[in-house]
Structure 1
């Protein structure tokens, strides 16, 4: 996300000063000079958001840079972090469906829901990939289940947009589908826990997980 923003800004800045947009080769040369430093800064910022006490410190970052033959000071490292933050307008903590999935898996484990944590996490990541690759098909199935009609109206499709933007519902559906595939015996327990944690009804969880599992197995029947 930072790299996209940086390229856009560099093109716009050069365009405003020269009367035309900069060529890609010129922009690329500018990016190359600071690419590794900016990459390390992005890793540092990400670690501060998610790793807390195990975050990548300035000393660790400098040691790494020195090991690959780059010589920077702590001041340059700090300025690089600020450059990344300014480019992103300090909007760095963007929620993703994976973040919801991982949070829910942590809560399930804390609540004593007996699930194979690592295999389930790996499967959920794969199911998220599937949901994005076949997004329209899965949500089309979900819509038809919800309205009990194979030909939804334009109004129904428009109202359904909020469902497609609900990351929590997506996360719950993916986890439910993952448990059903990986450990069917724990599925009802997992649905109960997910219902208690999120407030999403068991019926909604069932419908979403059905849409996902149906896509996995390629079946057209329940």
Structure 2
């Protein structure tokens, strides 16, 4: 858990941002709907979090912390790297199919992706840091430091770093999300008037970190519960992927879970979860479900092994 006070992306004083909350939420809802449509139709090759297993996730967290980058940069780095690697895999696969239609050389594709992965990861972090704050964007020397930590056997030139950043940005079609789950958390804290509660912001960031680091475990448990509840129905894989990419759903569960951590009275949490449900368009039971899973994981993380 983080002991220092974390800087906020936005001032949660609702006196002047309250008129904007509805528009922010509408924008996030529209983006979620577009993303869900892509997953349901299968019109784009992208499986959320497929390129960021636990070791990669931990590396991103360690490097961003070492370089003094904020939580929003690490979440955005995860998203960009995940997107880029999926894009690169699809690109190489299609190229291989064209040149060798009879047999796809998987080892060759994996070798190419692996050889460039560390540099591409730092390029994603470089882009994320600039998006988060242009004054704190990673310098070339900082990128080199990160690369040395990841791979001390290779040398990276200034030109290779510049070229890699452009390569990644182009592969992403020059599109970077305007918001992350942390933005959504802050919007919900403002919308529910919880923003000024002592320690809640830091608790939310810690829980978001945990949700990222334990992503596979968290969503596997969630899918298991869903299958138990709808055992007679086949759950659409597209729906599951849309669920994993729904930043409002995750943010609502994090905010609710933070009230568990801070021991808010049950009557207040019941009122809060209804407010969250109205804001994010997710059923109350689903938000409780995710928040309880996250709370259980948090308790297990804080419990020392016997």
Corresponding residue for residue 84 of structure 1:
168
Note the alpha carbon deviations across 1:21-78, whole angstroms, 9 max, x for none: 5412222333344333222212212222234422211232235546735333333222
Corresponding residue for residue 10 of structure 1:
92
1:200 to 2:281 alignment: no
Q: Measured at CA, do residues 136 and 97 of structure 1 come closer, stay the same or move farther in structure 2, by a change above 3 Å? A: farther
* Contact 2:203/2:258 (8 A) holds in 1: no
* Contact 2:123/2:168 (8 A) holds in 1: yes
1:35 to 2:117 alignment: yes
* Contact 1:41/1:84 (8 A) holds in 2: yes
More displaced, 113-122 or 4-13? 113-122
**Structure 2 runs not aligned, ≥5 long:** 1-81, 297-306
1:57-206 to 2 correspondence within 5 Å? Answer: 57-65=139-147, 68-93=152-177, 97=181, 100-101=184-185, 104=188, 111-123=195-207, 125-126=209-210, 129=215, 132-136=219-223, 167-185=247-265, 188=268, 195=275, 200=278
Higher relative contact order (CA 8 A, sep 6+): 2
Residue 72 of structure 1 aligns to a residue in which SS? coil
Corresponding residue for residue 34 of structure 2:
none
Q: Measured at CA, do residues 106 and 64 of structure 1 come closer, stay the same or move farther in structure 2, by a change above 3 Å? A: farther
Residue 278 of structure 2 aligns to a residue in which SS? coil
- Number of residue equivalences: 202
Note the alpha carbon deviations across 1:73-113, whole angstroms, 9 max, x for none: 33322211121122222334286545523654588899422
Higher-Rg member (1/2):
1
Q: Measured at CA, do residues 211 and 17 of structure 1 come closer, stay the same or move farther in structure 2, by a change above 3 Å? A: closer
Following the alignment from structure 1 to structure 2, what is the Cα–Cα distance between the partners of residues 21 and 211? 45
Following the alignment from structure 1 to structure 2, what is the Cα–Cα distance between the partners of residues 93 and 21? 36
- Please identify which structure carries the higher helix content: 1
Following the alignment from structure 2 to structure 1, what is the Cα–Cα distance between the partners of residues 134 and 267? 33
Q: Measured at CA, do residues 102 and 94 of structure 1 come closer, stay the same or move farther in structure 2, by a change above 3 Å? A: same
- Cα RMSD of the aligned pairs, angstroms, is 4.6
**Structure 1 runs not aligned, ≥5 long:** 145-149, 218-222
More displaced, 204-213 or 78-87? 204-213
